[in-house]
Structure 1
Amino acid sequence: MHYSADERTLPHNPLKAIVAPRPIGWISSMDKMGRLNLAPYSFFNAVADDMVMFSSTGRKDALTFAEEGGEFVCSLATYELRDHMNATSAPLERGHSEFEHAGLEMAPSRKVRPPRVAAAPAAIECRWLQTVPLVPLGGGSPTNHMVIGQVVSIYVDERFVRDGRVDTAAMSPIQRGGYFDYFAIAAEQRFELVRPKGG
């Protein structure tokens, strides 16, 4: 079976189900008036040792607030916080607090103005670098925009640091699949591979 935009052999685009599970960037940002936004993005990842990105379909508040305020924070979405994370994806009016709507406490960040989710076991503080319009084949106005930030500080709950390493599995992060699917990391499924010598 093959699927393409002009040959829809399935009722839904399978891309999100194949490129999965994807980490979730739970993005908090603040506009120039000091209003907050908190929203989860599954098109999120590290793109360098000290840079992360999230991609927005449409110019949503997370994107515009990050540009206006010049900063954003990525809190870790965990299994314990899954319902709170989902609640922050509600389409609220600009200026209405997703923190309040989802019953989440804020904690101050160290080097940026937007707060982190207090209950999240880890958070990445970023300064906005650029927004890249993702122009489709054939040109035209871009629907998707990639926001890139440079990491300036990282918070990790000390309970999840073992021998100088962050224990990712112990934090129980959730990841996004296709459709309405999510995945949770299980410690018993973890394995380690050492790169070949000379690599």
Structure 2
Amino acid sequence: MTEPRTSFSPADMDRDAFYRLLNAVVVPRPIAWVVTRSAEGVHNLAPHSYYTVACVEPPIVQFTSVGRKDSLTNVEATGDFTVNLAPESMFEQVNATGTDFPPDQSEAEHTGVRLEPSETVAAMRVAQSPVSLECTLHSTLRLGDSTVVLGQVRHVAVHTTAVRDGRPRIEHLRPLARLGGSEWSTIGEVRELRRITHETWTADPSIGRQLRGE
């Protein structure tokens, strides 16, 4: 039996209502806790939940500034930034750095988040974050009321205690993610499942039958 659906159309909804709808269905969203510095040297710290990897070679990550936020203004002025993983242990601080403080004030100072010098860029990184990506501005892309910021990763700094067998481990990173409205999530149950190769699929017809419920 087919499940009934409720339809939503951006043509029939105002911008804010459809924005809330997108946030509720594109979930969970990883959080880029972005540190930038203004032309006057003030360090801004803000969470951006429109964030992902854009390219592997060269390594590029992207976050989206919905509207013109201080992060965007600062990156355009100074050309670098850091993306810091938002850990579960700093839930309240991550949320508080989304407060609309004036551009000449540092969210890190207001919220007690300690910053430390980066290795390769002038923008600082979050000392308590288990992972920091140091980036230089690659380019920006304006899309309607938003701007995609693409940064080339120049250095990755990971807490040594979070590394096992040569890579950071999720049980030590404990990242936060955004959901709809004021909802957040943690990683919850972690499942491991290897990708099925076509060779394996062909050799074992029972795989397809099980997935089809036959």
How high is the TM-score relative to the length of structure 2? Answer: 0.83
Tell me how far apart the structure 1 counterparts of residues 79 and 30 of structure 2 sit (CA, whole Å): 23
The Cα offsets for residues 136-175 of structure 1, whole Å up to 9 and x where unpaired, read as xxxxxx3111010000000110111111121023211000
Instruction: Say whether residues 1:102 and 2:103 are aligned partners.
Output: no
Instruction: Say whether residues 1:55 and 2:56 are aligned partners.
Output: no
Partner in structure 2 of residue 64 of structure 1? 73
RMSD: 1.6
- Specify the structure having the higher radius of gyration (Cα): 2
Instruction: Say whether residues 1:80 and 2:89 are aligned partners.
Output: yes
Q: Percent identity?
A: 34
2:145 to 143, 157, 177: 143
- The 1:158/1:192 distance shift into structure 2, 3 A limit, reads farther
Structure 1 segment 159-198 matched on structure 2, within 5 A: 159-186=161-188, 188-196=189-197
Which structure dedicates a bigger proportion of its chain to helix? Answer: 2
Q: 1:4 is aligned with what amino acid? A: S
Instruction: Say whether residues 1:5 and 2:7 are aligned partners.
Output: no
Pairs aligned (count): 188
1:34 to 15, 27, 41: 41
2:27 to 20, 26, 46: 20
The Cα offsets for residues 68-111 of structure 1, whole Å up to 9 and x where unpaired, read as 11001011101101100111101011110111111111111110
In structure 1, list runs of 5 or more residues that go unmatched. Answer: 135-141
Tell me how far apart the structure 2 counterparts of residues 73 and 16 of structure 1 sit (CA, whole Å): 24
SS in 2 for 1:178: coil
Q: Which 4+ residue blocks in structure 1 deviate beyond 4 angstroms?
A: none
Partner in structure 2 of residue 43 of structure 1? 50
In structure 2, list runs of 5 or more residues that go unmatched. Answer: 1-5, 200-214
How high is the TM-score relative to the length of structure 1? Answer: 0.89
